[in-house]
Structure 1
Amino acid sequence: MEFVLKEENGFSYIDEGEGEVLLLLHGLMGALSNWDRVIEEFRSEYRVIIPILPIYDLPLLTTGVKTLAKFVHKFVKYKKLKDVTLLGNSLGGHVALIYVLAHPEVVKALVLTGSSGLYENAFGGTFPRRGSYDFVKEKVEFTFYDPEVASKELVDDVFRIINDRHSVIRILAMAKSAIRHNMKNDLHKITIPVSLIWGKNDKITPPEVAVEFSQELPDAELHWIDKCGHAPMMERPDEFNTLLKGFLEKIKIRV
């Protein structure tokens, strides 16, 4: 399904539905389409918002996870959002963690799926060789339990990104920033409810990462999705949405 991409005040974003805000943050090479099924499922009851993170547009010296968190805050202020439930996949989860620590008054709950912030095995331990389409295809397939989920469109997008020198330099800078900003010592400060929805077969942020998150976060619940890799909302959207719905209903009752 195609959703309207809005352009305002230097921000590009999707804004669908009305109600309590679900703010979704995509990963390093994630597209807005990664969240299509979440938008479809929840826009009848929630306001689902996805900003495009300016990963490839930041000045090289300021390219990093903290800068992305500051960008998210500018967006939140511009849209006057409050009582937000924040969802992050992969790098988006890492940005969400940094944002929650800086602005706990804005976020009422957090959902992490395949989040970086502790440890990740990006691209299976090797960075894609530019120019080698088959190599890129193999590494995109590594993201999923079922390699068929790595559509040609998805592989083409990643191939295009890593063959652009400007983008590659920023991807490397962002990856280094993510490693530098390990969240382990700060997780105990995040006291809002957190749902960890994790692919049991995630090879990029493997199951032990989810277990460590659940141990370090004071108010976390951990849910596994079997036969699923690094992007559950793409690979197992029905199971992901069911778990997300259960968490959202639970935090409504708690308020």
Structure 2
Amino acid sequence: MHAFQLLADEHQSLAAMLHAMHFTLKEIAAGRLSADAALLRAMAHYLTAYPQHCHHPREERLLFERLRARTDAGDAVLAELQAAHDASAEHGRTLLTALDAYLAGGDIHTLSAAFDQWADFYRGLMLREEQQLLPLLRAHLSADDWAAMDAEADPPSAEFTALFSRLVAAAPAPVGLGQGPYVEPAVTPSTVRSPVMSSSVSEAATSRFVRIREGDLDLQLHYHDCGQGAETVVMLHGSGPGASGWANFNRNIDPLVNAGYRVVLMDCPGWSKSDPIVCTGSRSELNARALKGLLDALAIDKAHILGNSMGGHSAVAFALAHPSRVGKLVLMGGGTGGPSQSVPMPTEGIKLLQALYREPTIDNLKKMMSVFVFDSSSLTEALFQTRLDNMLARRDHLENFVKSLAANPKQFTDYGPRLSEITAPALIIWGRDDRFVPLDIGLRLLWGLGNAQLHVFNRCGHWAQWEHAEVFNRLVRDFLRD
């Protein structure tokens, strides 16, 4: 039970840090210790960021999902624990806000009260997991389940392990070694984006869930969280049946992670493992609201947004609604709805896509994919079968897409008249042979956006990031860096 021991060790580490911060605040309040701002910030970061980005996603992926698959006896407990996981980000923001206020000259007792609320909340969460979840796991999971979890468990985060060690060294005795003040390790541009750094992320290890509440949206989103870095790149997938962030961008993640970026892939509502939804209004704006909810939940203030097809439409919708939260835009095969001036609408590819939603068969999938890319000879039977399996695993998504089209045939807003409002630098990438969204739509974007450049690939269809991955990755890295 290596995986379970890893999670138990994480509980112990978090409990130790709760105790250490409680002691430190008590000593400051009593006048026996001077405040070390860097130490307090690092402690609060560990207590709020480690659960959100490492511990909770690991529990949800290894324990929650597997228990749900084995029995419904734990549904009530899992719902309660999932709600607590989802609420932890807001609780964490309350603690961090109180810390900022104290370090700006506020009262230590106000910070201590905010910390006590966080500590009570989180100790209660860990206690419920140990007293309610553990018995269910022991009762319903087999030896094969535990072995599979051991195989799937990713190693502890090197970043947070190192942070914990630094905190133990700097924290006052007796909760630490008393070697403060706390000092962050030096970080240089070369260590943040060294070209010799190399890592490979996996689909399972980066899988995450989060509950978002944004306007009229209240749903669970699935996403992948890859790498670490001062800047974040969010990738938004297209609208094809069976699409997901990972399926769209698995050839593009490692190069950006190795360049020093955090990469987040959002599965839009109605796709992959995200909750189902019927969209009767603008799909572009629905996805933009979901993206805001995700960024808020992950405490990401600003991000570069890379969108393919529907993802491009959604990126533009987000940039119009929240311009201050966008760094740069990369738009491929999408960015605005509206008619093509050169090809009858709907296009050949869109007709085949809609037919596949209505009749999800291997033959219809092959028909669509034959015009999806320029050279379909690179598409294997295994790829077709995997995509079909993904589609059929979520028939509710297929049915809801058809219902959405019936309710509103124009799912994607024509942003042509508003493109000039966007000031973020934009890289537009298109396939000359795109039979889903023709090249003249890319030219409309180039004409309308105030700070844009266009790259057109020869012998390329609707999937530039997959068909020309190596050159595409280099273009995006250079654009984001400059």
TM (norm. structure 1) is 0.87
Q: Which amino acid aligns with 1:245?
A: R
Name 2:225's counterpart in structure 1: 15
Q: Which amino acid aligns with 1:33?
A: A
Instruction: Indicate whether 1:46 and 2:261 are aligned.
Output: yes
**Does structure 1 retain, via aligned residues, the 8 Å contact 2:416–2:448?**
yes
Name 1:151's counterpart in structure 2: 380
Name 1:169's counterpart in structure 2: 399
Name 2:238's counterpart in structure 1: 27
**Does structure 2 retain, via aligned residues, the 8 Å contact 1:143–1:202?**
yes
Q: How does 1:215-226 map to 2 (within 5 A)?
A: 215-226=447-458
- Cα gap change, 1:58 to 1:33, in 2 (>3 Å): closer
Name 1:253's counterpart in structure 2: none
Inter-partner Cα distance in structure 2 for 1:105 and 1:73: 12
Q: How does 1:55-74 map to 2 (within 5 A)?
A: 55-56=270-271, 57-60=275-278, 62=280, 64-74=283-293
Name 1:183's counterpart in structure 2: 415
Inter-partner Cα distance in structure 1 for 2:360 and 2:264: 35
User: 1:26-83, CA deviations, whole angstroms, 9 ceiling, x for partnerless residues?
Assistant: 1112321321121111102111111211225343255733222111110010001123
Q: Which amino acid aligns with 2:425?
A: P
Q: Which amino acid aligns with 2:208?
A: K
| Contiguous gaps of at least 5 residues in structure 1 | 251-255
- For residue 134 of structure 1, report the CA deviation from its aligned partner: 1.9
Q: For residue 210 of structure 1, give the secondary structure of its aligned residue in structure 2.
A: helix
- Cα gap change, 1:122 to 1:23, in 2 (>3 Å): farther
Structure with the bigger percentage of strand: 1
- For residue 247 of structure 1, report the CA deviation from its aligned partner: 0.8
Inter-partner Cα distance in structure 1 for 2:395 and 2:253: 32
Inter-partner Cα distance in structure 2 for 1:142 and 1:11: 30
User: 1:97-131, CA deviations, whole angstroms, 9 ceiling, x for partnerless residues?
Assistant: 11111111111110000115234736353432515
CA RMSD across the alignment: 2.4
**Does structure 2 retain, via aligned residues, the 8 Å contact 1:108–1:192?**
yes
Q: How does 1:1-255 map to 2 (within 5 A)?
A: 2-3=202-203, 4=205, 5-9=207-211, 10-19=220-229, 20-29=231-240, 30-31=243-244, 32-44=246-258, 45-56=260-271, 57-60=275-278, 62=280, 64-118=283-337, 119=339, 121=347, 123-126=349-352, 127-128=354-355, 130=359, 132-156=361-385, 158-160=387-389, 161=391, 166-172=396-402, 173=404, 176-179=409-412, 181-250=413-482
User: 1:141-186, CA deviations, whole angstroms, 9 ceiling, x for partnerless residues?
Assistant: 211001134333443355453796533333232683434x111111
- Cα gap change, 1:33 to 1:168, in 2 (>3 Å): closer
**Does structure 2 retain, via aligned residues, the 8 Å contact 1:65–1:177?**
no
- Cα gap change, 1:108 to 1:116, in 2 (>3 Å): closer
Inter-partner Cα distance in structure 2 for 1:90 and 1:61: 17
**Does structure 1 retain, via aligned residues, the 8 Å contact 2:278–2:401?**
no
Q: For residue 233 of structure 1, give the secondary structure of its aligned residue in structure 2.
A: helix
Aligned residue pairs total: 249
Greater Cα offset, 15-24 or 114-123:
114-123
TM (norm. structure 2) is 0.48
Which of 1 and 2 has higher RCO (CA within 8 Å, sep 6+)?
1
Inter-partner Cα distance in structure 2 for 1:226 and 1:48: 28
Inter-partner Cα distance in structure 2 for 1:113 and 1:151: 24
Q: Which amino acid aligns with 2:414?
A: N
**Does structure 2 retain, via aligned residues, the 8 Å contact 1:116–1:205?**
no
Q: Which amino acid aligns with 1:59?
A: I
- For residue 228 of structure 1, report the CA deviation from its aligned partner: 1.2
- Cα gap change, 1:147 to 1:166, in 2 (>3 Å): same
Structure with the bigger percentage of helix: 2
Instruction: Quote the sequence identity (%).
Output: 25
- For residue 243 of structure 1, report the CA deviation from its aligned partner: 1.0
Q: For residue 54 of structure 1, give the secondary structure of its aligned residue in structure 2.
A: coil
